[in-house]
Amino acid sequence: MSNLTHLNDKGEAQMVDVGDKVATSRVATASAQVKMSDKTLNMIMDGKHKKGDVLAVARIAAIQAAKKTSDIIPLCHPLMLSSIKVELEPDRENCCIRINTLCKVSGQTGVEMEALCAASVAGLTIYDMCKAVDKGMVISDIRLETKSGGKSGEWKRV
């Protein structure tokens, strides 16, 4: 019926059986950005937010989100991630914080969703911590940047 692996012959949702797949080293990177007012960005960068270190909290939230992806996305497999990296780069010129995540695993399925989940939750956490001073923030450009490993091999955003 479909080429979508998460649907069976009847079109019903299913978790893909990865039991017969070979475990390989798999890596995925994702990105996002949070656009905000210069006042909000300066507050974050100057460490003057009354809730504390916004970027430190967003980094921890991203790591936690990657580890909990299978609890959030219904058909994702639980993975034993070997590495999660989160970079939060303030961009004063464009009044935003750029988010970059990397997830690694040696396993039978990829880590794209974990990297994407981490980037998304980092953005949501920044929004949550700063919404009292800037409700107009925009979380955008959540996207997979690279993936490697598994049967489909390497992929990179052009």
Q: Is residue 19 part of a domain?
A: no
Which residues have a catalytic role annotated?
A: 128
Which residue bears the tokens 């100057």?
A: 46
Q: Is residue 130 part of a domain?
A: yes
Q: Is residue 153 part of a domain?
A: no
d(CA 53, CA 51): 7
Q: In the Cβ-directed half-sphere of 53, how many Cα atoms lie within 13 Å?
A: 7
- 129: exposed, middle or buried (Cβ count in 10 Å: 0-12, 13-18, 19+): buried
Longest dimension (CA), the chain: 56
| Residue 79 belongs to domain with CATH number | 3.30.70.640
Which residue, among 80, 151, 84, has the nearest Cα to 117 in the 3D structure?
Answer: 84
Q: Is residue 78 part of a domain?
A: yes
Give the pLDDT of the chain (158 residues) as one tens digit per residue. 347 676 677 777 666 666 666 778 999 999 999 999 999 999 999 988 878 899 999 999 999 999 999 999 888 888 999 999 999 999 999 999 999 999 999 888 889 999 999 999 999 999 999 999 999 999 999 999 999 998 888 999 99
